[in-house]
């Protein structure tokens, strides 16, 4: 059962900032709500105020800048990403990962920004955004600050936002436009289930980047590799040293480590294909 709360749906960013400043710790920003509302039903979260960003028109947009970078607004849904022509053509790993997140109905509500702010180790959108060098644009009463996504995740369900801040958008730099990329996820069942393990890869200008999800307290971005000198063993050894998977109801530590090896081999084969 949900706790009693006050609901606001501001129409402008200035109105949003005003509500966040007024209610502080008592408020939660609502984007898709697919995680937050579940936590509220379970009694894990009990905010006194919900501030819904979906009423702010500019937050619903995926914008391509003149330099080729893209900005994904706070209320852009996973289905918006899947259907976006620019993303499918130039940053396809984002659409690839979004398709694995939940059901079609869930993706109509679930937002990319919400998936990141929830800071789950298993977040489907985290890995692809990490290998694409993404950053978070955090709004506050002074303006905004940019946080590299690799510095955004602090622990399970913990992110780098300060009190009074919210995520306006996620920015993906033009440098990774048209990079060779891929994403693989394993879950217990086909369809909407949290991943046992996920691995994302990106190859750009002689550099290979990998990220791993569901195998540590945060999504893990591995150090960059030289795509010319690379060998599978080096990547796998580095990955296994960088993660710390657990045994849980979804999979064992050993099984997760096995999946990491298999997925890295598959993605390297894809990344080296022409």
Q: Say whether domain 177-271 belongs to CATH 3.40.50.720.
A: no
CA gap 218, 215 in Å, rounded: 8
Q: Which of 34-43, 113-122, 173-182, 215-224 has the lowest mean pLDDT?
A: 34-43
Provide the pLDDT for residue 229.
Answer: 87
Domain residue spans in the chain? 1-52, 177-271
Q: Which strands form 49-52's sheet, in the order they lie side by side?
A: 6-8, 49-52, 27-30
Residue found under tokens 């080096």 = 234
> In the predicted model, is pLDDT for residue 157 greater than 50?
yes
Percent with pLDDT over 70 in the chain: 96
Assess whether pLDDT exceeds 90 at residue 223: yes
Question: Which residues lie closer than 8 Å to 249 by C-beta, 6 or more apart?
Answer: none
Judge whether 201 and 267 are in contact, CB under 8 Å.
yes
Check residue 274 and give its pLDDT.
47
Q: What pLDDT is recorded for position 249?
A: 84
Q: Do 125 and 101 meet the contact criterion of CB atoms below 8 Å apart?
A: yes
| Residue 104 reports pLDDT greater than 90 | no
In the predicted structure, residue 236 carries a pLDDT above the cut 90: yes
Higher-pLDDT residue of 95 and 250 is 95
What's the pLDDT band for 189 if we cut at 50, 70, 90? low
Q: Residue range 58-70: average pLDDT? A: 97
Distance CA 144, CA 137 (A): 7
Residue 268: phi and psi, rounded to 5, are -65, -40
Please state the pTM of the whole predicted model. Answer: 0.94
Pick 1-52's CATH classification: 3.30.465.10, 3.65.10.10, 3.30.43.10, 3.30.1330.10.
Answer: 3.30.43.10
Average pLDDT, the chain: 93
How many Å apart are CA 20 and CA 140, to the nearest integer? 9
Q: 3-state DSSP call for residue 51? A: strand
């Amino acid at each position: 059962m949900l706790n009693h709360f006050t609901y606001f749906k501001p129409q402008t960013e200035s109105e949003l900032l005003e509500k966040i400043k007024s209610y502080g710790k008592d408020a939660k920003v609502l984007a898709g709500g697919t995680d937050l509302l579940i936590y509220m039903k379970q009694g894990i979260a009990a905010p006194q105020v919900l501030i819904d960003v979906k009423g702010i028109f500019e937050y619903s947009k995926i914008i391509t800048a003149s330099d080729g970078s893209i900005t994904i607004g706070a209320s852009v849904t996973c289905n918006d990403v899947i259907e976006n022509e620019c993303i499918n053509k130039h940053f396809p790993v984002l659409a690839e990962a979004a398709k694995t997140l939940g059901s079609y109905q869930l993706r109509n509500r679930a937002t990319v920004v919400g998936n990141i702010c929830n800071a789950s180790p298993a977040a489907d959108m985290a890995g692809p955004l990490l290998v694409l060098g993404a950053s978070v644009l955090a709004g506050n009463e002074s303006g905004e600050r940019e946080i590299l996504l690799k510095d955004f995740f602090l622990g399970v369900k913990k992110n780098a936002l300060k009190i009074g801040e919210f995520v306006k958008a996620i920015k993906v730099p033009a440098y990774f436009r048209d990079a060779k990329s891929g994403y693989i996820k394993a879950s217990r069942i086909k369809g909407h289930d949290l991943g046992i393990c996920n691995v994302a890869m990106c190859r750009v200008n002689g550099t290979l980047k990998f990220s791993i999800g569901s195998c540590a307290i945060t999504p893990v971005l591995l150090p960059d590799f030289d795509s010319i000198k690379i060998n599978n063993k080096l990547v796998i050894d580095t990955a296994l040293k960088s993660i710390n998977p657990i045994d849980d109801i979804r999979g064992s530590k050993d099984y997760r480590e096995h999946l990491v090896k298999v997925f890295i081999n598959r993605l390297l084969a894809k990344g080296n294909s022409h």
